[in-house]
Structure 1
Amino acid sequence: MAGGDRASFLSFEFRYDYEVEISPEFPGTGEWAETVHVFNDPRVAIQSSPSAEAAPLVVRVESADGGAWIGKFASGYSGISGIYACPASDLICVIAGGCPYLVKSTQPEVGAVSPSDQVIQVLPSPDASLLFLVNYTDIVAIGKWGPLWNSGRLVLDNLRVVEIFDDEIHCLGTSSDLQERKIIVDAANGSIKQGSVPGFS
């Protein structure tokens, strides 16, 4: 994973009701003053060998009501790391080594939703109503109430978003014939509006 020291917080144009500190210093007392919540994704255990395991991404969150907690987020094995604001002001998207976790800042005890894996791009919609998580093959849209849609597999590999408009997401990716193809995805529901990838559409 990209270590906690290389992770950063991005708010884009979203309003957020919390403060975050990435990789806070461990207290000299040997104990956190805040409640510690551990977040794991089963896919991390399945896909990572013991030799490839990385330290979790540790984040301190202070919510609008003044409550503070420590989150330890298990790292995936491929992708970016960072903390991102979401369309909902109390929702945090933590990505550790490509593994995304959606957590409510005021209710960490409820747990996290992990709607994707191997995330390599995180992008907002122009009107700041959606947050897009992009991995090597598909796109997930996050709305005010959490995951809104998953495009399903769009390409064989190497998917990347090159431009986003209010109603369209323009992408490039490798098709099953190993050619780079352009696809236009409907931002409202994740369906393909234009272009086709042999073997997948």
Structure 2
Amino acid sequence: MDSDGSRRFHSFGFEPNYTVEVDPPFPSDGIWDCPIVEFDANGVAHPRTALDARGSLIVRVEPSVRQTWLGVFANGGLGRVDETFAGPAPEQLCVVAEGTAYLVNVDSPITDPAIVQDQVQHVAADAEHHLLLLANDVDLVAVGASGLAWRSPRLALDGLSISGADSEGIHCYAWLGDHDGATHLVTLDPRTGQIMAGPVLPD
């Protein structure tokens, strides 16, 4: 899917153990009733007592068994996707802030968050293999229940998109430099991210 600018939360059929409110309304007195966690452009989480929302995507996260918290995610600025997604594991949250994809454990957001992809242009899910897929213009990463599962080799010179996933693999369209703008179908192994079928870019 491509982002339509609405900054919604998408579960993709996964079963999160939390609820998310994207762009929550600011309290009239400026005081939030939950802890604030800021995620910087390097993926490092910092507890905050005050909120600076400039250049950020803000989400309010209510885990089923832990304290509610407010996440402030620095915008990447180089990707089309600006939305939030459930991960394959119930405690995983993936926030894509203007292309920068942060993977967070909602029960312990300060512990080991990670930036798993940059310049994200397209997001999809492989339900059969329980993977969240994040593509930029040239490669693709898969998030599994244990975190980042794999990163594909470079698949395109530009314009990579995810067509879908089925029992035969993960299917993408890649532009390989054709002057007429034609794209080529490339199929990846969902276990490794390696190319199973389709053209391979030279080293």
In terms of fraction of residues, the more strand-rich structure is 2
Find the counterpart in structure 1 of residue 68 from structure 2.
68
Separation in 1 of the partners of 2:174 and 2:109? Answer: 36
Q: Which residue of 2 aligns with 1:106?
A: 107
Give the number of aligned pairs. 188
Q: Does 1:186 align with 2:189?
A: yes
Residue aligning to 2:55:
55
Once residues 63 and 196 of structure 1 are traced to their aligned partners in structure 2, the CA distance between those partners, rounded to angstroms, is 43
Deviation of the 1:130 alpha carbon:
1.0
Instruction: Give the structure 2 partner of residue 115 of structure 1.
Output: 116
Query: Structure 2 length normalisation: TM-score?
Result: 0.85
Unaligned runs of 5+ in 1: 44-53
| Percent of aligned pairs with the same amino acid | 34
Structure 1 residues 128 and 198: alpha-carbon distance in aligned structure 2, compared to 1, 3 A threshold: closer
Query: Is contact 2:124–2:164 with CA below 8 Å preserved after alignment?
Result: no
Contact persistence 2:129–2:190 (CA under 8 A): no
Counterpart-to-counterpart distance in 2, 1:116 and 1:66 = 27
Q: Greater helix share, 1 or 2?
A: 1
Q: Does residue 130 of the first structure (1) align with residue 141 of the second (2)?
A: no
Deviation at 1:66, TM superposition (A): 4.3
Q: Which moved more, 1:152-161 or 1:126-135?
A: 126-135
Stretches of 4+ aligned residues off by more than 6 angstroms: none
The root-mean-square deviation of aligned C-alpha atoms, in Å, is 2.0
Counterpart secondary structure, 2:14 = coil
Instruction: Encode CA deviations 1:96-136: one digit per residue, 9 max, x unaligned.
Output: 10110011111012142111111111111132611111111
Unaligned regions of 5+ residues in structure 2, if any? 44-53
